Amino acid sequence: MDKRTIIKKFAVYGRNIHPLAVELLMKNADHHNLDSLIAHICKTTNSFVISREEVEKAIESFRTTVTTVKEVKPKQVVRSQENVNVRDVTGKSTCEGGIEDFLAYFNSRFEKLSALVRRRIGGIKISSLSRFKNDQVEVVGMVKDVRDYGEFAVFDLEDKTGTVSVFAGEKLREIALELLGDEVVGVIGVYRNGRIYADRILFPDIPMRERAKKDFGIVFISDTHFGSREFLEREWEVFTKWLSGEVGNEKVVDLASKIKYVVIAGDIVDGVGVYPGQENDLTITDIYGQYEYAAEMLDKIPKDVKVILSVGNHDAIRQAEPQPALPKEIRKLFSNNVIHVGNPAYVDLDGLKVLIYHGRSLDDVITKIPKLSYEKPHEAMIELLKRRHLCPIYGEKTPIAPEREDWLVIDEVPDVFHSGHVHTYGVGFYRGVLVVNSSTWQSQTEFQKKMNLNPMPCNVAVYYNGEVGRLRFCK
């Protein structure tokens, strides 16, 4: 690599480098991955003009960086071909934001979810309740305005014909207080004095199913945040070497040989202007440059592994969900083994149905339901499965585009439900569905420190034959 190329690579990070430091780097170019080394130098020094002494220190610390996966001799990895089918909003959005769009959107939400609830109960129109005084009734409606009156929790249930108040006491009180609003539920209870005294509250929920078992492996990751000063490039380097069969013990390398897909659930890059003071956390301040760097990093993944690349709220796409895939001018930067999808997206991987959702609504759900926490994000994802909706609360932190069809309804039960966004790690099974929230590749930013957010970086969820394990590529 010549001097001019090295100088240009530092310019991408907004830095200059002393000529003696350039010569030192050229001597080390054969011994290290130079791109990773340059990123490490820019992370570990604040100087505008980087000196030879600073490069020497950075090289030494780069050499001593330890990960939990040890290097071994490369192993040849051979994988079969893949078949991928995708369903998302890309190229199908008709939203203009008018009143008719909002009416169509909420009608679509109600119709889809109420049909799921009615598989469990019959349900009568709310306008017909007056004929059933002091009798048991079954109704289906959309929740609004949950109130706590101590002995009872009270919420209003609305369908297209009217509204009725529902009183939930004893054990049902806790369930009622966890209702998020704008979700559709069924209620079984006694209609008396113009209100329903509930005996049961039924969510759309998912049916029990057997765990899907496929004899190939899938890696689930998220929130790479390429372009961030806190992006963990050294750990990413070890991760991609593992996929190539170059690092790990025999068992771990054998697992790498079975990987056919890497699924990334959004926030590919860190973006620009996403939060106050973000410019101080960036090594690449140009959004197009961030995606060029992202393409370079993803290019380290073996070409016989398909990369399913979704988007999130940091990406260069509309913020309102559902989000289409990245625009063509960005997609063309990536290799042919990268498949671009929207958020959310249903992806069929050789018969394994994966629902990818970046997970922005998890902030709303975790805030609303006291028993949930960021330390166990998969539990919040399970609440979304129960409600059969990826963003059941309208009007909170998660913006929703009023498409005429509600793409956020979980109308098809997946084998795997994969999210990210919250930068923590959690995996579990719910009624046979694998639920994965797959960490991040970004260490804690100054903004996250102020918000008291503690990430769990470089935890990788690996699926194989119906089971899931975790590999850690962090210190």
Q: What's the pLDDT tens digit per position in 74-115?
A: 444 444 445 689 999 999 998 888 899 999 999 999 999 999
Return the pLDDT at 337: 95
* Residues 363/399, Cβ–Cβ less than 8 Å: no
Least confident segment among 40-49, 220-229, 364-373: 40-49
Whether pLDDT at 67 is above 60: no
**Beta bridge partners of residue 472, listed in sequence order:** 459
Greater confidence, 96 or 36? 96
User: Mean per-residue pLDDT for 386-414?
Assistant: 94
Distance between CA atoms of 464 and 460, rounded to whole angstroms?
Answer: 13
**Does pLDDT of 9 surpass 80?**
no
- In CATH terms, the fold of domain 121-202 is OB fold (Dihydrolipoamide Acetyltransferase, E2P) (2.40.50)
pLDDT at 13 (0 to 100): 63
Q: Find tokens 């960036």 and name the residue.
A: 282
- Residues whose CB falls within 8 Å of the CB of residue 347, separated by 6 or more in sequence, listed in order: 84, 85, 86, 87, 263, 308, 341, 353, 354, 355, 356
181 φ/ψ sector (left φ>0, alpha ψ -120 to 50, else beta): left
Whether the pLDDT of residue 2 is over 80: the answer is: no
Question: Is residue 50 scored above 90 in pLDDT?
Answer: no
What are the b/e assignments for 121-138, b being 16+ CB within 10 Å?
eebbebeebeebeeeebb
Closest CA to 426 of 457, 472, 461: 461
Residue whose token pair is 């909170």: 396
What does the pLDDT read at residue 331?
Answer: 95
Model confidence pLDDT, tens digit, residues 276-325? 888 888 999 999 999 999 999 999 999 999 999 999 999 999 999 999 99
Distance between CA 398 and CA 363 in Å, rounded? 8
Cα distances from 390 to residues 144, 238, 319, 375, 418, in angstroms, run 18, 33, 15, 20, 11
- What is the SS3 assignment for 295? helix
Q: Is the pLDDT of residue 263 over 70?
A: yes
**Separation CA 9–CA 350 (nearest Å):** 40
Q: Where in the chain is the domain with CATH 2.40.50.140?
A: 121-202
pLDDT in tens, 190-207: 999 999 999 999 999 999
Distance CA 314, CA 298 (A): 17
How far is Cα 192 from Cα 199, in angstroms, rounded to an integer?
13
CATH class for the region spanning 84-92+208-472:
alpha beta
**Predicted model pTM:** 0.82
The chain-wide mean pLDDT, for the chain, equals 89
What band does 58 get if pLDDT is binned at 50, 70 and 90?
A: confident
Measured CA to CA, the distance from residue 99 to residue 402 in angstroms comes to: 9
Pick the CATH number of 3-64 from 1.25.40, 3.40.1130, 2.60.120, 1.10.8: 1.10.8
Q: Which of 95-104, 260-269, 460-469 has the highest mean pLDDT?
A: 260-269
* pLDDT(216) > 80: yes
Of 40-54, 272-286, 401-415, 448-462, the range with the lowest mean pLDDT is 40-54
Q: What is the pLDDT of residue 454?
A: 87
Instruction: Give the pLDDT of residue 19.
Output: 82
pLDDT above 70: percentage of residues in the chain:
92
Concatenating the DSSP letter of every residue in 390-413 gives S---SSSSS-B---SS-TTB--S-
**Would you place residue 69 in the very low, low, confident or very high pLDDT band (cuts 50, 70, 90)?**
very low
What does the alpha-carbon distance between residue 346 and residue 308 come to, in Å, rounded to a whole number?
11
pLDDT of 341: 97
Q: Which pLDDT score is estimated for 77? A: 44
Is the torsion defined by CA of 124, 127, 131, 137 positive or negative?
Answer: positive
The answer on pLDDT for 65 being more than 70 is: no
Judged by phi (left if over 0) then psi (alpha if -120 to 50, else beta), residue 271 lies in left
> In this predicted structure, what is the pLDDT of residue 475?
61
Per-residue pLDDT at 30: 52
Under the banding of pLDDT at 50, 70 and 90, the label for residue 71 is very low
**Which residue type is seen at 306?**
K
Residues 464, 470 contacting (CB under 8 angstroms): no
Residue range(s) of every CATH 3.60.21.50 domain in the chain: 84-92+208-472
- Residue 10 to residue 58: CA distance in whole angstroms: 14
Among 309, 228, 307, 314, residue whose Cα is nearest residue 267: 314
CA distance 179 to 142: 10
Q: At what angle do helices 233-243 and 287-298 cross, to 10 degrees?
A: 40
CA angle centred on 239, ends 237 and 244, rounded to 5° = 95
If one compares 330 and 44, the residue with the highest pLDDT of the two is 330
Q: Do 207 and 413 form a contact (C-beta atoms < 8 A)? A: yes
Interstrand relation of 433-438 and 259-264 (parallel, antiparallel or unpaired): unpaired
CATH 1.10.8 domain position(s) in the chain: 3-64
Exposed/middle/buried for 37, CB within 10 Å: 0-12, 13-18, 19+? buried
* Residue 88: φ, ψ to 5°: -155, -175
Structural contact between residues 471 and 69, judged by C-beta atoms closer than 8 angstroms: yes
Q: What are phi and psi of 176, to 5 degrees?
A: -65, -40
Tell which residue, 196, 123, 202, 183, has the closest CA to residue 154: 196
pLDDT on residue 79: 41
338 forms beta bridges with: 307
